[in-house]
Amino acid sequence: EVQLVESGGGLVQPGGSLRLSCAASGFTFSSFAFHWVRQAPGKGLEFVSAISSNGGTTYYANSVEGRFTISRDNSKNTLYLQMGSLRAEDMAVYYCARKQRLTQGHYYFDYWGQGTLVTVSS
């Protein structure tokens, strides 16, 4: 059974840092790219960051560029999001999502974690 389990969320002060993890099981982790997607309270879904299957290519939303770093450890089947200089507007539930490719450009997220809540407040 495919499982994605996020952890690492919590309460952090503005300007602080946090590292999120997404532990994967039930499939060959190193064969898939992943995204982090966030959802502010009562709001919709927003792309945060993406990483290729070997970790060699990464992407970031403009709003987090320079503050967040996505990485992965294929030996540990784990995806990470290092978050720094946190702001009130970063407060959200953060989901990891597995990217399933169809053809060039066509893809979808076939598995999502349950999410981990990041609260930014003094």
Q: Does 112 sit near another protein (CB under 8 A)?
A: yes
- Helices (DSSP H) in 3-119: which residue ranges? none
- Binding test (CB under 8 A) with another protein, winner from 1, 66, 102, 122: 102
**Which residues within the stretch 6-35 sit at the binding site for another protein (CB under 8 A)?**
35
Stretch that binds another protein, among 9-17, 21-29, 44-52, 65-73 (CB under 8 A): 44-52
Which H or E element spans position 66? none
Q: In the bound complex, what is the minimum distance in angstroms from residue 119's beta carbon to another protein?
A: 16
61 binds another protein (CB under 8 A): yes
Q: Which of 63, 61, 58, 62 is nearest to 80 (CA)?
A: 58
Determine the Cα–Cα distance for residues 21 and 71; give it in Å rounded to an integer. 10
Member of 47, 52, 55, 78 binding another protein (CB under 8 A): 47
CA atoms 41, 79, 97, 115: torsion sign: negative
Which C-beta is closer to another protein: that of 82 or that of 111? 111
* Binding site residues, another protein, CB under 8 A: 35, 44-47, 50, 59, 61, 95, 97, 102, 105-110, 112-115
